[in-house]
Copies of this chain bind each other. A is one copy, B any other.
Amino acid sequence: MTKTIRTAILGASGYTGADAMRLAMRHPHIELVALTANTHAGKPVGDVFEHLRGYDLPRLTTLDEVDWTAIDLVICALPHGTTQAATKTIRTINPACVVVDMSADFRIRDVETYAQWYGLDHAAPELQSEAIYGLSEHNRNAIRNAKIVACPGCFPTAALTALIPPLAAGQIRVDDVIIDAKTGISGAGRGLKQGMLFAEAGEGTSPYGIGHHRHMPEIEQELSKISGSAIKVGFTPHLVPMARGELLTCHVRLADGVSVDDVRVGLSTRYADEPFVLVLKEGEIPKTQNVRGSNLVHIGVFKDRLPGRAIIIAALDNLVKGSAGQALQNVNIAFGLEETLGLEQIALFP
């Protein structure tokens, strides 16, 4: 009999926190014993997320109120820059506690690179080496024994899932990867920004972070690990008027003698036994609609009109596989559970 995992979700008033609650509430072995949201402490969750009204959940508390000794698992949805200190505290009080973090705080192995992109000194550099990068399908063994799992960003999850296999197989060139990304508005978080108002973001498409988005160093770090050399990628995200969903169009150059079919076959073979990655057949097209609310990545490979080039397209739900879903998948791995537990939800279409 599996023991119940006493779980705290930190940062339960944001979108990734909400999706972590939604998924964890259905997980057969997770018991939610603490939910934190400093500015809303004392309120019922249903006051902060009305779709969770009526469920039996603990009240929101501050971080300080949590008894870490009674917690087996922390799912961390705090803002970037605040997780390092919190993790240090938790790990000091309860070294057995597993921290699965959805922020960027432990993703960048090099603390100087972190400081440069996030504008903050790393607050727990001694823990950084313990942190395992939580790209579930590619880092399973390391996650199994991890005490700190740094879940990838939503864009890196899609990019790496699509690009690691062909790159590892030498099928695509490392020096000519252009990623044109489209994301739903929830990716900007729940903070109040004028550009995210319905009347402003609706009925429009706009690029942002052009040439300097924070997910770049993370993508480059992981691809460089695979290729053995320092890779730089082009990465241009766009805001699209949908709540959830992310589609990455990767324009790549094929290595000599490699065909588009080779790339597709390579991806299909690599992911054949993965429950959450579906490599589509020739002609089938990835669409964010088809994965909304699910933990799936859909990948398609296409011939470009430019000779020697291919287009690899990946679609996922930024809040699920791009965040809370992959976090839970990592929880399952770290606790030795069936990897699909709590993640069987089928996409909500239409």
Contacts and interface: CB of A to CB of B under 8 A. Distances in A.
Given A240-B240, A240-B241, A200 B289 contact: yes
B53 A292 contact: no
Q: Can you tell how many copies of this chain the complex includes?
A: 4
A315 B54 CA distance: 15
B51 A203 contact: no
Nearest to A244: B350
Interface secondary structure of A, over-half rule: loop
A1 interface: no
A55 B296 CA distance: 12
A319 B211 CA distance: 30
A302 interface: yes
A348 B201 contact: no
Given A206-B289, A350-B244, A234 B309 contact: yes
A286 B25 CA distance: 22
A350 B15 contact: yes
A311 B22 CA distance: 31
A348 B234 CA distance: 33
Contacts of A216: 305
A171 to B, nearest CB: 18
Interface stretch (A29-37, A93-101, A187-195, A221-229): A187-195
Interface of A: 15, 18, 22, 25-26, 49-55, 178, 180, 182, 184-186, 190, 192-194, 196-208, 210-212, 216, 232-236, 238, 240-245, 247, 249, 251, 278, 280, 284-294, 296, 298, 302-307, 309, 311, 313, 315, 319, 344-350
Top 7 A-B pairs ranked by shortest CB distance?
A204-B289, A206-B287, A199-B350, A192-B192, A180-B180, A51-B347, A51-B349
